Amino acid sequence: MLRDNTWIALTLGTLMVVACNGDDATTVATATATESDTSSTTVTATQTATATMTATGTMSGTDTMSGTDSMSESDSTSVTATATDTATATDTDVTATDTDPTATDTNPTATDTDPTATDTDPTDTDTDTDTGTDSDTDTTGMPGVCGDGVIDAGEQCDDGNNEDGDGCEANCTLPPPPVCPNEETAVKCDVFEDNPEWYQAMEMGCSQDPNETPVIYDESMNSNNQNAWRIAKGFGTYMEMGELLYSPRGGDTFLMLSTGVISQPNGQGIVTEQNNSQTGNGNNNNDDSNSLPPPINVNEGSNNGNGGTPFENCDGVGDCSDTLESAWMLGSGDPNDKAWVTWKTDVPDLVESYSFSFAYFSSEWPTYVNTQFNDLLIGWQTSEAYTGNTTFIGDAPVTITSLDPYFVQDGYTGNEPQLQGTGFEQHAGTDWFGVNQNVVAGETVTFTIMIADMGDSILATMAIIDNFHWNCEACIPVDDPACTGEVPDPKCCGVVEPQ
């Protein structure tokens, strides 16, 4: 055999590679070389494969194998071969997998010991370098499909469809955690110049997103006289710390309801009345029938309708606070000049209660305390959690009689400056009160707020109502020590006096 400077013309006739998938696949390569002196050499190599590679290419050129063998394979492979040949070959390898860098040429007269063979086939994308253990990470599976019911890499969930709102979004991501809407998260839409609706003045119905606002429906304003209610930015003229005492508790405006009539707001959106004018402000031609608007029901509703256990075992029909019946009888069951609003809403997730604010004024005080002229303000709730009056003070609804102790001690009466510009000078008005009551997430609630002149249609009574919003905590039961002390917790159920 010629060596070193001796060239042998080698024609590579056939290269056949057989590979089996699996960790222990074996590849057998057989090559036949023909020397110029008609002698031939057969090279057989056995290799172990763990990754599958596809390569098809044509090699044409001069391959000098004197220690370094360049091969077109999909993995870097060290080959031991014996020959110094000039060769023209065609690589028809379509599937090859190898990790074993040792291939032995049975020709004992030449040995290639170079362990660094490099695959330069431009059609092969496998860049794994074979160092004895193949760590090829090529994948041949199809990418994951969102909506096929299988959680693939990159998916947070897959419920077998591409729909939002069912616990797994259409893009196979989990929905954001629920948010408890409350006063801080609520959006406002009651800009006075935009002529808001009455319910928007109370911070409701500002969008269809329950996380932004109480979403309401079946809402109605019930007043034959358009002047018996107003939307305003303020009431009266008394200022504290540069702000009107009766300014909105939320947003830009509030709602006003009267058993008489209310003056138009001025150019700044503020309602002012002539001094002591409400004693002559009477009949507004609203409903005078001797009944209350449904679903308000003055019958006691606790103890399954038998009464005696306020707020317990509500019958779902009568007044579970057991506060309305006695006041109704004192007023001879004769409500006049009624004005009321009503609406329905679905309680959002995580919500446990709601609140709103009100202020109450009456020209019936002090002359008609504990008489039939005991003008009523009722906040009514119908729901699974509670059905009954929500504007209760102790064991009575909001009237001049139940408010009399407050008026005498803490309220605004007579010639006190806080009543300036209200028309209730010489009589009485409150500061802003709060109302709290519990609800159950997911339930539908019907609300009604009504004002009525009891016993006659003269001497006006008026209420301002504002800032209805959800709460993430339940209100505190009225019999809790936190609510029975001298200074009740502002989260107590029912009416909470200003602090």
Beta carbons of 386 and 440 less than 8 angstroms apart:
no
- Asked if 33 and 40 count as a contact pair (C-beta separation under 8 A), the reply is yes
Q: Which long-range contacts (CB under 8 A, 24 or more apart) does 277-282 make?
A: 277/423, 278/361, 278/363, 278/422, 278/423, 278/424, 278/427, 278/459, 278/460, 278/462, 279/363, 279/426, 279/427, 279/459, 279/460, 281/363, 281/423, 281/459, 281/460, 282/337, 282/457, 282/458, 282/459, 282/460
- pLDDT per residue over 305-335, tens digit each? 999 999 999 999 999 999 999 999 999 999 9
Which candidate, 381, 363, 374, 376, places its Cα nearest to that of 435? Answer: 381
Q: How far is residue 308's CA from residue 291's CA, in Å, rounded to a whole number? A: 24
d(CA 119, CA 95): 14
If you compute the radius of gyration of the chain from its CA atoms, what whole number of angstroms results? Answer: 44
Write the pLDDT tens digit of every residue in 227-274: 999 999 999 999 999 999 999 999 999 999 999 999 999 999 999 999
**Whether the Cβ atoms of residue 400 and residue 362 lie closer than 8 Å to each other:** yes
For 416-471, the pLDDT digits (tens) are 999 999 999 999 999 999 999 999 999 999 999 999 999 999 999 999 999 999 99
Q: Which of 49-53, 204-208, 324-328, 377-381 has the lowest mean pLDDT?
A: 49-53
Question: Domains plus CATH for the chain?
Answer: 1-134 (no CATH), 146-176 (no CATH), 192-496 (2.60.120.260)
State pLDDT tens for residues 268-290.
999 999 999 999 998 999 999 99
The pLDDT tens digits for 395-415 are 999 999 999 999 999 999 999
